[in-house]
Amino acid sequence: MSKRLFIKGNEAVAMGAIEAGCRYYFGYPITPQSDIPEYMSKELPKRGGDFIQAESEVAAINMLLGASASGARAMTSSSSPGISLKQEGLSYMAGSELPGLIVNIVRSGPGLGGIDASQADYFQSVKGGGHGGYHLLVLAPDSVQEMYDHAILGLDLSDRYRMPTMILADAVIGQMKESMIPHPYQAPELPEKDWAVTGKQGRSEQKIVKSLFLGDGELEAHNWKLHRKYELIKQREVRFEADGLEDAELIVTAFGTAARIAKTAIAMAREAGLKVGLLRPITLYPFPEKAFLEATQGCKRVLTIELNNGQMVQDVKLSVARDAEVAFYGRPAGAGSLPTPEELFEQIRKQIRGVA
């Protein structure tokens, strides 16, 4: 397991899920994520697992719901239009407090869009997406290694908090190849799944998993219960990468593919004598609000870079110190629309000049 591999991000996320004990996969082909079901169809049976190509994305998410309700570790994956079709099922899973791993290899939209890399599903992912006031845990890898690691982490977090976890990547992270080192799964201490529907098995009580609460005040109490859970993960599960913030005159923030490009631009800026730091959210929900607030106590200028028209920037503005200024630079998806490091370096220079 310590051997370095050269593989795609899509393969890495599937490999990580299997290593963490995922034995059930339900999905439907769509570019640019189809490597995931292809890998699962080949490897899961070798581990005693089951792969099902569902008749639709709607069927796949409801199969995930059923497998999760039985206590199994299971996952599904898709790309943007397919994830849209899964939203009702995700709402039911969140309402039923069911774990499960969902991978979204984001493509461009709206509508059918195209297969180019995009980050325009940020709102859908972190604000709920389906009906009702719920959240998903959302992880945003920026490398093939993190695709593997986040699959493991996502399944663990999902079981710990009894809620779905989404890995939000894109066509670049999913399709590119780079080296990664797989590692053996070390199971953390997790709550027992004494809620799982596995048949009576001699028990006197009946196990019920549901999102329907019809008694007087029951649904309100259930929603407050979910709210307390979300507040708890805000305290415990925030993850981010910070670098060069100590002397920064400008903080650059980005996630996923945009962060990879931004890191090169920041290195160029540092070589040019510009004091630029990085603050990369790894959990998009819960968002690293406190990290942004603390970072902007000293540095009052933030540049948010995204592969969309501006979505995460709204959460950045809500999180920074009141007197901080937040600028945005985005490139909506389209053929050849990825910004270059040189392009981002120019944006950084403009912002630094504005500070001066």
| pLDDT for the residue 1 | 53
> ω into residue 32 within 30 of 0, thus cis?
yes
Residue 62 lies in a domain: yes
Domain assignment present for residue 205? The answer is no
Mean pLDDT of the chain: 96
Across 256-273, average pLDDT = 97
Measured between alpha carbons, how far is 179 from 213 in angstroms, rounded to an integer?
48
**Number of separate domains in the chain:** 2
- Is the domain of 265 the same as that of 130? no
Q: What is the mean predicted confidence (pLDDT) over 254-268? A: 98
Are 27 and 133 in a shared domain?
yes
Quote the domain boundaries for residue 88. Answer: 5-180
CB 166 within 8 A of CB 138: yes
Whether residue 351 sits in one domain with residue 263: yes
Q: Is the pLDDT of residue 117 over 60?
A: yes
Mean pLDDT of 179-196: 95
* 25 and 171 part of one domain: yes
For the stretch 120-129, pLDDT in tens is 999 999 999 9
Confidence band, pLDDT 50/70/90 cuts, at residue 201: confident
3-state secondary structure of 306: strand
pLDDT digits (tens, 9 = 90+) for 18-60: 999 999 999 999 999 999 999 999 999 999 999 999 999 999 9
Looking up residue 140, the CATH number of its domain turns out to be 3.40.50.970
Considering only residues 2 and 351, tell me which one the structure prediction assigns the higher pLDDT: 351
pLDDT confidence bin for 200, thresholds 50/70/90: confident
Question: Which range has the worst mean pLDDT, 53-62, 84-93, 202-211, 244-253?
Answer: 202-211
Domain match, 166 and 29 both: yes
Look at the block and give the residue holding tokens 């649904």. 219
Q: Is 25 inside any structural domain?
A: yes
Same domain, 106 and 244: no
Q: Does a structural domain hold residue 151? A: yes
pLDDT of residue 111: 92
Partnered with residue 138 across adjacent β-strands are 166, 285
Please indicate, yes or no, if residue 307 is contained in any of the structural domains.
Answer: yes
Residue 123 placed within a domain? yes
pLDDT in tens, 312-338: 999 999 999 999 999 999 998 765 679
- Whether 116 maps to a domain, the answer reads yes
212 in a domain, yes or no?
no
pLDDT of residue 125: 98
> What confidence score (pLDDT) does residue 356 get?
42
Above 90 in pLDDT, residue 294? yes
Burial of 178 (0-12, 13-18, 19+ CB in 10 A): middle
